[in-house]
Chains A and B, each alone.
Chain A
Amino acid sequence: MIALIFISLYTNWLAPVRQQLSVLAVPFYQLTDIPRRLNEWRHNTFVSRSELALENETLRTELLIHQRKLQQMAALAAENVRLRQLMNATDILQDSVLVAELIGVSPNPLSHTVVINRGASEGVFEGQPVLDAFGLMGQIIEVSENTSRALLISDATHALPVQVNRNGVRMIAEGTGDLNRLRLRHVSNTMDIREGDLLVSSGLGKRFPVGYPVAEVESVVRDPGQAFATVIARPMARLDRSRHVLLVFDSRDSNP
């Protein structure tokens, strides 16, 4: 038994076994998901007309605001393409996404992983970035036929390269095991970083695509006695609340 533990910890010989057997685990997650589905169904079925009308109105307003922003976006994107052509740089390609739904969370309080309802049959692959509507959530670590498991950015074993949106300073954000805190590593005391700075993924490391919001800097403590400043950031993605997530197919290298 102990030998088995060491094998599964330090080698990946058992990965195919796990992948095959995880079909057995799916019914459990589907069963535990039933109460939530019932609640959603109740929410959708027993809703008054006035509530629906109100929701419709707010959504219309939101749509209008977003459409206005999108109009500007079109012009900006065109300008960006022209400028890039002037500089002989390659075009930024559009990433395609797949919408997935959370069906389970890890019962282990030490590991922040979630189970989603898309798997290898939809083209999900290991290392694929996972987003929600607000920012980067994590990456896929285990794929089976119809489900997969994602590691969240707040897990203590996760780290990702980011940059400050304001000035492009690059650094590494690592999880702390707390859903609402990321720690930035090796930030020197003289670095230009402030509270409220937006951190976006830098695309270094070739795991995550460039430019998705990751976190907002919450506190910067510069202690002259320490070699590095202590910077804490709060993830933009709603790691514990988002039901629907987006799986990104990076157009650079995922389709060989």
Chain B
Amino acid sequence: MLPPKYQARVVITLSFVVALLLAVYPLPLSWRWWRPEFVVMVAIYWIFTLPLRTNLVLLMLLGLFQDLLEGSPFGQHGLALVIVAYICFLSYQRVRNYALWKQSCWVFVLVGIAQLTDNWVQAMSGSPLSGVMFLYPAFASACFWPVCYLWLEAVRRHYRIA
């Protein structure tokens, strides 16, 4: 086995890789609005559990990589991730103690903010804004949050990352 220090890094990196894979997995167009924002959710989880070990610069690079993957303007996901991460840093002490459904509501707000900046950039690059449809991914993320949280928690316990 790897030494514990590297093990934590490897597990966290792998969780983000899985999130990125899910973020680009091909879906039919009518379902694409309901894809949860996996990368943002995984980022929120790791910030809530290990707030002192997260690195905003690395998160920004992760966002840039997601832009590269999706072919969106550089900086779109980076900006969204950095803003969401900052809000997480300000609020993690409170939100960590919430019940799971309350956390879901909070995730709805956070992913909604990420979607807001995403759509701001998309609108500037010429794609039409479509009412409140941009909040569908936030809603899907909130519904998916308990599953994501429990799964990541199990992984974290299994590898003893603290």
Contacts and interface: CB of A to CB of B under 8 A. Distances in A.
A31 interface: yes
Interface string A1-28: 1101101110000100010011011001
B84 to A, nearest CB: 13
State the main secondary structure of chain A at its contact with B. mixed
Interface stretch (B5-13, B72-80, B154-162): B72-80
Interface in B28-78: 28-29, 32-33, 35, 60, 65, 68-76, 78
A4 B76 CA distance: 9
A36 to B, nearest CB: 8
Nearest to A239: B29
Interface stretch (A91-99, A107-115, A160-168): A107-115
Contacts of A8: 73-75
B127 A110 contact: yes
* Central interface residue in B24, B33, B121, B130, by most chain A CB within 10 Å: B24
A36 B25 CA distance: 11
Interface residues of B, number: 34
Given A1-B82, A8-B74, A28-B20, A179 B69 contact: no
Contact of B29 (A4, A36, A109, A142): A109
Contacts of B130: 110, 177
B125 A28 contact: no
A1 B78 contact: yes
B24 A5 contact: no
Which 7 pairs, one residue from A and one from B, show the smallest C-beta to C-beta distance?
A5-B75, A110-B127, A8-B74, A4-B75, A109-B32, A8-B73, A157-B126
Interface of A: 1-2, 4-5, 7-9, 14, 18, 21-22, 24-25, 28-29, 31-33, 36, 104-113, 115, 142, 149, 156-157, 177, 179, 240
Given A8-B73, A24-B65, A25-B69, 7 more contacts: A1-B79, A7-B74, A105-B26, A106-B70, A107-B35, A108-B72, A109-B29
21 contacts: A4-B78, A5-B75, A5-B121, A8-B74, A21-B68, A22-B68, A28-B21, A28-B24, A105-B27, A106-B70, A107-B23, A107-B32, A108-B32, A109-B29, A111-B71, A111-B72, A111-B127, A112-B29, A115-B71, A156-B126, A157-B125
